[in-house]
Amino acid sequence: MTALTLLDRPSPAVAVLTLNRPDRRNALSTALRDEISDRLAHLATDADLSVLVITGAGPVFCAGFDLAEFEQAAADPSFSDRLWASSDRYHHAVATFPLVTLAAVGGPAVAGGFDLAVLCDLRIASTTARFSHPEYTFGEVVYGPLADIVGGGLARELCLTGRTLTAPEARAAHLVSDVVEPDELSAAALALADRVALGDAGSLRRTKAKALARSGLSREAGTLEL
């Protein structure tokens, strides 16, 4: 069975977690979310690690939640409970991870994939990146983390209209720190991660803790309360 995530360690201070469902555009199935949560729980205890890069295999960063599972959940209340419990755990695992997180966004980051990018501390994108919330047509959109980064005005526009933000627009809005060619994304992300990792490990953790405290994120908040 192919692993749903791949973990690489280019240096003691830097790890790279790759979503590995390219055939499904890295859609966040319950199994993939649970594996990400498990990986983060383990990595959070790694005393040598300072930065985690999160990226996706193939031409799409992440297409969001696996919509086929919502059809299953509609017919199976027990699976519905599991789906939402998995979702809540996953969102909080990413949002409250105690180390610095960097999303390397190659290609579209759609719906929950957009959320994954904004739940990270830093973002770098390829020219093929696109950010959008098409799910606004049929459900609620995660709003708070995006608003913290780009401000309420733009966040409301993106969450209430589903407008697609291109990579240059994302750079202009300070959603991403840089835009590079697709074949340069990995190297650029690792260079930024290495720059972060020059910081004192304890100080980086304390600064991340300050950022989390200021965000006001509650561990009791469900996915759709974010």
Q: In whole angstroms, what is the distance from residue 28 CA to residue 8 CA?
A: 20
Going 176 to 182 to 186 to 190, the CA torsion angle's sign is negative
Active site residue 140: no
Q: In whole angstroms, what is the distance from residue 105 CA to residue 165 CA?
A: 13
**What secondary structure does DSSP assign to 102-115, as a single string?**
EEEE-SEEETHHHH
Q: In whole angstroms, what is the distance from residue 37 CA to residue 90 CA?
A: 5
18, 5 contact by CB (below 8 A): yes
Which position among 35, 69, 71, 135 bears the catalytic label? 135
Sort 205 into a burial class: Cβ within 10 Å, 0-12 / 13-18 / 19+.
middle
Q: C-alpha dihedral over 92, 96, 97, 101, to 10 degrees?
A: 100
First vs last Cα of the chain: how many Å apart?
Answer: 34
Instruction: Please identify every residue annotated as catalytic.
Output: 135
